[in-house]
Amino acid sequence: MLPTPRLYLLLLLGTAIGFVLAWLGGTEEALHRAIALTLVYDLVLLLLAWLDGAQVRPYRVQVSRQPLQTLSIGRDNPIALTVKSGDRPAKLRIRDTYPATFVVTPAICLLVLPAHAQTDLIYTVFPKQRGEYAWGDIQVRQLGAWGLSWHDWKIPQQATAEVYPDLIGLRQLSIRLTLESSGNIRRARRMGTGTEFAELREYNTGDDLRLIDWKATARRDRLLVRVLEPEQEQTLIILLDRGRLMTAQVGGLARFDWGLNATLALALAGIRRGDRVGVGVFDRQMHTWIPPERGQPHLAKLLERLTPIQPDLLEPDYLAAVTTATAHQARRALVVLLTDLVDETASGELLAAMGRLSPRYLPFCVTLRDPEVDRQANTPTEEVATAYCRAVALDLLAQRQVALAKLKQKGVLVLDAPAPYISESLVDRYLQIKARSQL
């Protein structure tokens, strides 16, 4: 039994009435009588509160947690509780025992349920690290009919769930790629791009005249144009840095986790476009190498192999990573390296490694920027302390742009985007590369 605010108010009211009676009596006997009446009042009230809580027991609600699915890091994942009431209406406070490191909304679920009713309660969890996590019992409080006390009990519901990279984002990307590869959207994006012939269709106003197929036009007696699509079955190599710079926290997640999400998103896009996709994760040496393959089962293999990997406080060896990748992939490929850089001097090895890839391969350097640095650099201030912070942020961005410019001079494609938006930006850039037949 847990007391409610109503019970406390009634107890205070009884105490106040006792003081008033003692003051009005003005004698020691009146004081003793007021104290006795107050104690009797309090005992009766506490007895009623106990009875109020005890009466709930036969009418307890039934609460169960729906089976836990695989969770996505950096996303609000819904968790569902099913609540079923008995013969009486129920006012409830329900708290699940979720992992302590998760950000949960709401932490306590409040619910008023009519008699003989059933509903689903949804709360969301925001995991910041990958791994396996345990859930415990569900704590339920049900208010008594008189509103004097809560009946409190726990329902055993032990379970475990794994936190994976951003599976929600991968599902959304898969739907987007499917829509872009079908119907009018597909035709609109493919007209006049790519090198492989896909189909013939009737000429529409505004179509490129160079795409008219005159032989087919003569045979069918109407203007027909060729629809081209990006070349299929090319090779995409993704190198993901798991070294020191990737351990920094950006937007609540490690920079490596943003990079891992982007790696899987790019792999999905490559597989959906018919390319062979290989992935390497490196620090001082090649930590994990997954040879290039095509097909949807390969994405499941990538997800299984890459999910357990965590960043480490080691300096990455870019030259060794590039050398290992090119030793496994002799033919021309798009080589995407996801990392971060500071300035030209500190990133000298990165510049040298990416320069070695050109012109045999198409090198593409992707850097994950911290949006907090952008915010400080672009926020005017009049205070001395914040002015120094802004000056440092501006200098960091300037040095970063110098290093990126050096990469571009070496023939390296460059994408520098805020870490929380890197997946979408990287996939869009990859699709542009495919559409322009740069590889």
Express each pLDDT in 1-28 by its tens digit: 899 999 999 999 988 988 888 888 778 8
In the chain, domain spans: 2-54, 59-164, 168-229, 235-435
Q: What is the pLDDT of residue 188?
A: 43
CATH of 235-435, one of 3.40.50.850, 1.10.3210.10, 3.40.50.410, 3.40.50.2000: 3.40.50.410
Give the predicted TM-score (pTM) of the model: 0.82
244-263 residues labelled b (16+ CB within 10 A) or e (exposed):
ebbeeebbebbbbbbbbbbb
What single-letter DSSP state applies at residue 211?
G
User: Is the N-terminal amide bond of 89 cis, ω within 30° of 0?
Assistant: no
Helix (H, G, I), strand (E, B) or coil at 131: strand
Range in 190-204, 223-237, 240-254 the model is least confident about: 190-204
Whole-angstrom Cα distance, residue 58 to residue 153? Answer: 13
The answer on pLDDT for 190 being more than 50 is no
Q: What is the pLDDT of residue 113?
A: 95
**Cα-based distances in Å from 416 to 36, 319, 361:** 78, 21, 20
- Same topology for domains 59-164 and 235-435, yes or no? no
| Mean of pLDDT over the chain | 90
Q: What is the pLDDT of residue 182?
A: 64
Whole-angstrom Cα distance, residue 274 to residue 196? Answer: 13
Mean pLDDT throughout 161-175? Answer: 95
Among 70, 66, 69, 93, which residue's Cα sits nearest to residue 80? 66
Among 344, 414, 354, 366, which residue's Cα sits nearest to residue 246? 366
Q: What is the pLDDT of residue 435?
A: 82
**CATH architecture of the domain formed by 59-164:** Sandwich (2.60)
Q: What is the pLDDT of residue 201?
A: 79
Antiparallel, parallel or unpaired: β 90-96 and 138-143: antiparallel
Whole-angstrom Cα distance, residue 202 to residue 216? Answer: 11
The answer on pLDDT for 344 being more than 70 is yes
Instruction: Count H helices and E strands in the chain, helices first.
Output: 12, 22
Q: What is the pLDDT of residue 196?
A: 58
Among 435, 400, 70, 429, which residue's Cα sits nearest to residue 262? 429
Q: Which amino acid is at 198?
A: A
Crossing angle for the helix pair 167-180 and 255-272, nearest 10 degrees? 30
**264, containing H or E segment:** helix 255-272
